[in-house]
Amino acid sequence: MILFKKSRDLHDFLKEKRRRDIPVGFVPTMGALHAGHISLIGESRKKGGLTVCSIFVNPTQFNDSKDFDQYPYTLEKDIDGLEAAGCDVLFLPSVKEMYPEGLKNLPHFDLGFLETVLEGKFRPGHFQGVCQVVERLLKMVQPQFLYLGQKDFQQCMVISKLVEIMGIDTRVVICPTQRESDGLAMSSRNLRLSPSEREQAVYIHKTLRFLRQELKPGYLDDMKERAIQYLAAEGFRVDYVEIAEAETLKPVTHWDGSTPLVALIAAFINEVRLIDNLLLQDSH
């Protein structure tokens, strides 16, 4: 695996590959890699061509500075994991490299409705930060394929919208959430959980499964309320439990029995905020 810290060097290297028509797949990350990230590298490798991964803990997407300060950093292990997975290129820029003009006066992206709900509502400015960094990364890497995990359901929609509004010639490939054997969605933030918090964390997935089991046409408010109470009883501080149209993320209060739905949860265990989601008509 070749490591680049400067976008200029990465750009020159990739330009040469593009000249030879070698397709590029890209997996952007913030490090603290787990099997979910590694599965994205695997998906990219299946296509052939070149796989580029970036590790950059992007300061502009953290609305909570404590969360930024405590974001796990496991670079050596990450490099080993990427090498073992057959990743070709690691881009490891500094903040100065990504934001040479500083962190002020960054562009604003018109994300419309998507930014007003769920993560957009509870983490103001978060998706602007995601778009600021992803747009820069996409300009630098110019991949044919961009691999994202469904675990960040809303982020996948936001980045797809970014690609569309900026006219970026990249196909977004959304890959299934990777889960631990008890169902907990893999996440870098799981590293911050104590053993007892780790046990507690599984209730997020259990609650999503409860929602899938309970789903029937008609009003959904009661089951959402029961899910919130269930999580609160297990010691969570709940930001939201929502059932939304899977294609638009519009919250649904009354289900017609056919519109594809997704259930989404964000909840704190003490200081650690976890998110997860489940497509309600999927059987696995």
Sites of contact with ligand PAF (CB under 6 A): 28-30, 58, 61, 130, 133-134, 152, 155
Instruction: Work out how close the CB of 53 gets to ligand PAF at its nearest, in angstroms, rounded to a whole number.
Output: 10
Q: How far is the CB of 127 from ligand PAF (least distance, A)?
A: 9
Residue found by looking up tokens 């507690």 in the block: 200
Long-range contacts made by residues 15-23, C-beta under 8 angstroms, separation at least 24? 17/50, 18/142, 22/49, 22/50, 23/47, 23/48, 23/49, 23/50, 23/144, 23/145
Query: Given the complex with ligand PAF, which of 119 and 242 has the nearer CB atom?
Result: 119
> Which is nearer to ligand PAF, 29 or 200 (by Cβ)?
29
Give the nearest distance from C-beta 83 to ligand PAF in angstroms.
20
Choice among 34, 37, 126, 205 that is catalytic: 37
Q: In whole angstroms, how far apart are CA 115 and each of 124, 130, 199, 222?
A: 8, 11, 32, 26
Question: Of the two residues 54 and 200, which places its CB atom closer to ligand PAF in the complex?
Answer: 54
Residue 11 bears catalytic tag = no
CA distances from 60 to 66, 117, 183 (A): 13, 19, 31
Residue 241 main-chain phi, psi, to 5 deg = -125, 120
C-beta of 115 vs 152, nearer to ligand PAF: 152
* Structure token digits, residue 216: 């029937």
Least distance (Å) between residue 93 CB and ligand PAF: 11
| H or E, element range at 264 | strand 261-269
The catalytic site residues sit at 37
